[in-house]
Amino acid sequence: MSKTSTTAIFDEDTPITQADSDAGKLVLRKRADARVVQPKKRVTLYLDASLVERFKEMAGERGYQTLINEFLKSALQQADLEATLRKVIREELKGPKAA
């Protein structure tokens, strides 16, 4: 038995109304090159209970999972920046190359 979709399909020209949003059937997604881009991926992750509680306290009304996501992205960017900086410093310490 196949299940039929309850999500309405809209043309690009069809306006989306507040009733459509309130029905909860629409998910607006970013598009790149005419295909839907999935901005996030669902994962199961086990964290220390104290860590989760700390993020919940820090997040307040925002949502602790979003805060954890931002922290992880920030840590990766910082690691990339640190690696680039180390590379530049090493190159500068070598001095000018002999021609």
Residue 7 included in any domain: no
Q: How many helices (H) and strands (E) does the chain have?
A: 3, 2
What's the total number of domains in the chain? 1
Top-confidence residue, 70 or 16: 70
Residue 39 included in any domain: yes
Residue-wise pLDDT tens digits, 26-74: 555 566 666 666 677 888 999 999 999 999 999 988 889 989 999 999 9
Residue 23: per-residue pLDDT: 72
Supply the range of the domain harboring residue 48.
Answer: 18-94
Closest CA to 67 of 75, 77, 59: 59
Phi and psi for 28 in degrees, rounded to 5? Answer: -85, 125
Residue 62: per-residue pLDDT: 84
Residue 12 included in any domain: no
| Calpha distance 67→59 (Å, rounded) | 6
Average pLDDT, integer, range 5-28: 63
Residue 99 included in any domain: no
Give the DSSP H/E element, type plus range, for residue 47.
none
Residue-wise pLDDT tens digits, 19-34: 766 776 555 556 666 6
